[in-house]
């Protein structure tokens, strides 16, 4: 079972989710690592996954060489698996003192390390980061360490390297002399020298300082962005308030005009009511006068008839 299969063995639920998040995070270019890490940690915390957020926040930004090695593993899974198998075969050949196998695998090792480091440089270039000669050497050093040391192989197979790996100095580049005595060797990385430790400590302090600086820059950029957003929201709110004030004034004017029209309509209605009442009164008076005139006309007609009959 390879290191990759061991690491991906029995993961379930949110554990698989956070593992996938961390895998993707370590393929993020170092310049964007801190901002992306904080974004993912905040998202996990907002979702209620506090432990996952803590794990994500604890992730350390990789060096450019380590990032390129991680990117190579994720982007070229078949070649990476074959490379890990080559390392196992090479270490087995050395343990069994197979001189022919060591020579053949060593030559294969040199070719594949050169090819894979070239692929890593190409992948980094496609991601917008050109690797310097020194960084490419660090990538090659990491790949040689993967072939030489099983612990280094496991670390690279995890896909989350934070720094370049250094191969043990006693890895055989060629077959050992015939008849030479060999002692069983432990598959461990030799203890670094005082100078190497000092260099590593200096590199770590620089990395931590750069990470703090990057975090400070990210925080400042985020604060500036929030300030710009707040100013924009304030301007929008002021514009909306002005529009509301204008609409209120316009509505008040419309209400005032409507009230005046209503008052005029009421006055017109009252005037029409009075005119209607006066007209009705005149109609009643005219009707009464008409009835009185008819009555007087009938009485006059009867009087004429009466007088006419007497004369006859």
Mean pLDDT of 137-149: 92
Instruction: From 62, 6, 54, select the one nearest 34 (Cα to Cα).
Output: 62
Q: Which of 103, 87, 110 is nearest to 178 (CA)?
A: 103
Alpha-carbon dihedral angle through residues 120, 124, 130, 132, given to the nearest 10 degrees: -40
Are the beta carbons of 201 and 17 closer than 8 angstroms?
no
CB-based contacts of 152, cutoff 8 Å, min separation 6: 142, 145, 146, 165, 167, 189
Length of the chain: 312
Let me know: does 119 contact 131? Beta carbons within 8 Å: no
What is the pLDDT at residue 32?
Answer: 92
C-alpha–C-alpha distance, residues 289 and 162, integer Å: 119
Q: What is the mean pLDDT of the chain?
A: 79
Residue bearing the bigger pLDDT, 184 or 39: 39
Choose the most confident range, by mean pLDDT, from 40-49, 101-110, 257-266.
Answer: 40-49
Residue 65 near residue 142 (C-beta atoms within 8 A): yes
CA pair distance 57, 110, nearest whole angstrom: 38
The share of the chain scoring above pLDDT 90, in percent, equals 31
Among residues 18, 66, 63, 58, the alpha carbon closest in space to that of 38 is found at: 58
Mean pLDDT is lowest, of 20-24, 29-33, 151-155, 216-220, for 216-220
């Amino acid at each position: 079972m390879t290191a990759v299969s061991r690491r991906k063995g029995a993961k379930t639920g949110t554990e698989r989710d956070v593992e996938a998040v961390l895998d993707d995070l370590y393929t993020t270019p170092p310049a964007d690592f801190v901002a992306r890490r904080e974004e993912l940690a905040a998202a996990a915390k907002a979702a209620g996954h506090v432990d996952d957020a803590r794990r994500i926040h604890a992730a350390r930004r990789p060096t450019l060489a380590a990032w390129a090695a991680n990117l190579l593993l994720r982007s070229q899974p078949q070649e990476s698996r074959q490379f890990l198998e080559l390392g196992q075969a090479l270490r087995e050949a050395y343990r069994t003192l197979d001189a022919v196998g060591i020579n053949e695998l060593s030559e294969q090792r040199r070719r594949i390390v050169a090819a894979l480091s070239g692929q890593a440089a190409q992948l980094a270039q496609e991601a917008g980061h050109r690797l310097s000669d020194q960084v490419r050497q660090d990538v090659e050093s990491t790949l040689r360490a993967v072939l030489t040391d099983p612990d280094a192989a496991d670390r690279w197979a995890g896909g989350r390297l934070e720094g370049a790996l250094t191969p043990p100095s006693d890895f055989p580049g060629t077959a050992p002399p015939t008849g030479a005595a060999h002692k069983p060797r432990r598959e461990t990385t030799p203890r670094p020298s005082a100078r190497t430790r000092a260099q590593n400590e200096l590199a770590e302090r620089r990395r931590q300082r750069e990470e703090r600086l990057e975090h400070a820059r990210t925080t400042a950029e985020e604060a500036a962005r929030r300030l710009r957003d707040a100013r924009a929201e304030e301007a929008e709110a002021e514009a909306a308030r002005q529009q509301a004030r204008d609409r209120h004034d316009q509505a008040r004017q419309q209400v005032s005009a409507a009230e005046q029209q209503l008052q005029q309509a009421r006055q017109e209605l009252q005037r029409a009511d009075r005119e209607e009442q006066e007209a009705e009164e005149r109609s009643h008076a005219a009707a009464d006068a008409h009835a009185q005139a008819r009555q007087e006309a009938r009485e006059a007609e009867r009087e004429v008839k009466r007088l006419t009959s007497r004369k006859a």
